Structure 1
Amino acid sequence: MTDELSIARTDGVVEVTFDRPHRHNAFTTAMYAGMRELCAELATDTSVKVLVLRGAGGRAFAAGNEITDFLANDAVPYENWIRELLDALFALPQVTIAAVDGVCVGGGLAVATHCDLRVATAHSRFGYPIARTLGNALSASIVYRCAAVFGESLTREMLLTSRLTTAERAYAVGALMSVSDDGPGLDAELASVVDGLRHASGVTLRATKRQLLARARLLEANPDFDEELLHEVYGGPDFAEGVRAFVAKEKPAFE
């Protein structure tokens, strides 16, 4: 584990806090590794009913991936390694909840959409602005999961226009189960949902999750061309320019 992940365990509930508020909780390789380790542990732990994920600081759930860690790895295998974590998170027998307070973009949104439920504060924003930042691409299964949660039209808008979506709009399309005015309101809503799940039948929850997972696996599998496409994107000029501009704190000038 890493000190960038704060893990609290209470009766039947595990709560993970992404604890890098100075970097808007952007995910590092160590954080992903810690989450993989936790998912492997929870996969066979029937004593835990609920997993809650949230970000520290009140400004972000998670703002994508830490770019320096991303660049330290071969991009396509690293994307696949992250996707394996997302698959493990999605397949957990526990009910998973993303409690969003602030920006939820890039890798943060990928994690949130692979949770079963999402609650958020009113000032939260969601999106994948990669077409105007790094010039990279997502694994197809991550795009499909976003479309399953936000709907195809809003997913197209987020990815193609790089615009962030408000919590109000996300709630309107069913991506969020509730929107709270502020942090304390979010905590109260989260406590209410968790308390209800504590008293629910674990057998029913696990059976329902297994059925929904089977449906998602049929509809959201990566196409045959996906890895070749990712190699083309990450080896191309736009990603190189996006990285250069990000490191230099400039706007990229894509061809």
Structure 2
Amino acid sequence: MSADTPSDAPAEDLLIHRDRIGPGVLEVTFNRPKRRNAFTTAMYQQMRDLWGAVAADRSVRVVVLRGAGGQAFAAGNEISDFLEADAVDYENWIREMFDRLWSLPQVTIAAVDGVCVGGGLAVATHCDLRVATVGSRFGYPIARTLGNALSGTVLYRCQAIFGESLTREMLLASRLVSADRAYAAGALLAEVPDVEALEAEVAALAHGILQASPVTIETTKRQLQSRARELEGSMPGEEDLLREVYGGPDFAEGVRAFLAKEKPAFGG
């Protein structure tokens, strides 16, 4: 697999580098700092393609994901993209990308510096390990912003990583969780003071993984994934429920207000 993977996404929106930290380490940087690295459809497509290529390339041992700019890992999705497709079908398509990421045989590390919300948090919770700077924050404030809902599998990943209490706080109270609390809950492997310490921690973590047995790592990941799949199945009728949400007045108001840069007036 080459360092430059063909895609419709502008090359500057997703930066891909290999072997800078060490042989077998692939780095993926979300590079839209002026938009807090919000994901576009083209970026999602490139990630879908990339995870397929990485899964088949056993010379890659570690995948590191990070956001550019020092303000955000990734702050959700580019909302205007929802207007160009059926919202539920779009969410299902994105969820397939999350599953490809989560199913990788390699160890995946989310290096978080700044806000990690919405789609960014979904990516981070589908990684194996998370490391963050002290000022980072995590959440799904969608009840106050868009009036949509998460798919069951994305919700399960958040609950599995952050615990039910913090997941309820994120979604029901629309509060962002600090790095301190995320670390205390076990959602983070490490909390570090600044970006320099973050890079040092990620490098040390990657180098340790490179010295480990690939057989042990891949077998353990398969065992963990198998057990999680038994627990995270979607609830009966979930797609119909999500279609009601995305076709309802609150989501329409949320998108309108977001694009107009106004506070939404939800009516339910």
Same fold at TM > 0.5: yes
CA distance in 1, matches of 2:18, 2:82: 30
1:66 and 2:78 are equivalent in the alignment: yes
Deviation at 1:192, TM superposition (A): 0.5
**What are the ranges of 5 or more consecutive residues in structure 1 without an aligned counterpart?**
none
AA aligned opposite 1:66: E
Residue equivalent to 1:15 = 27
TM (norm. structure 2) is 0.94
| Aligned-partner SS, 1:246 | helix
Instruction: Supply the AA of the counterpart residue of 1:174.
Output: G
CA distance in 2, matches of 1:184, 1:73: 40
**d(CA) in 2 for partners of 1:43, 1:112:** 18
Residue 229 (structure 1) aligned with residue 241 (structure 2): yes
Map 1:24-43 to 2 at 5 A. Answer: 24-43=36-55
Q: Shift in Å at residue 42 of structure 1? A: 1.1
Aligned partner letter, 1:149: I
State the Cα distance separating 1:73 from its structure 2 match: 1.4
> How far 1:91 sits from its partner (Å)?
0.4
Counting aligned pairs with the same residue, the percent is: 69
Distance apart, 1:205 and its partner CA: 0.5
Per-residue CA shift, 1:228-251, capped at 9, x if unaligned? Answer: 111000000000110111111111
Quote the offset at 1:83 in angstroms. 0.4
What is the rounded CA distance, in whole Å, between the counterparts of 1:166 and 1:97 in structure 2?
19
Aligned to 2:120: 108
Residues 26-60 of structure 1, C-alpha deviation per residue, up to 9 Å, x if partnerless?
A: 00001000100110101121111101100000100
Structure 2 gaps, min length 5: 1-6
Please say if 1:51 is aligned against 2:63. yes
Secondary structure of the residue aligned to 1:8 is strand
**Within 2, Cα distance between the matches of 1:203 and 1:38?**
22
Aligned to 1:142: 154
| Distance in 1 separating the partners of 2:158 and 2:76 | 15
Residue in 2 that maps onto 1:157: 169
1:206 partnered with 2:218: yes
C-alpha separation between the residues in 2 aligned to 1:222 and 1:239?
Answer: 22
3-state secondary structure, aligned to 1:221:
coil
SS at match of 2:59: coil
Aligned residue number for residue 199 of structure 2: 187
Measured in 2, the distance between the counterparts of 1:195 and 1:39 equals: 21
Q: Give the counterpart letter for 2:18 in structure 1.
A: R
Q: Describe the SS at the equivalent of 2:263.
A: coil
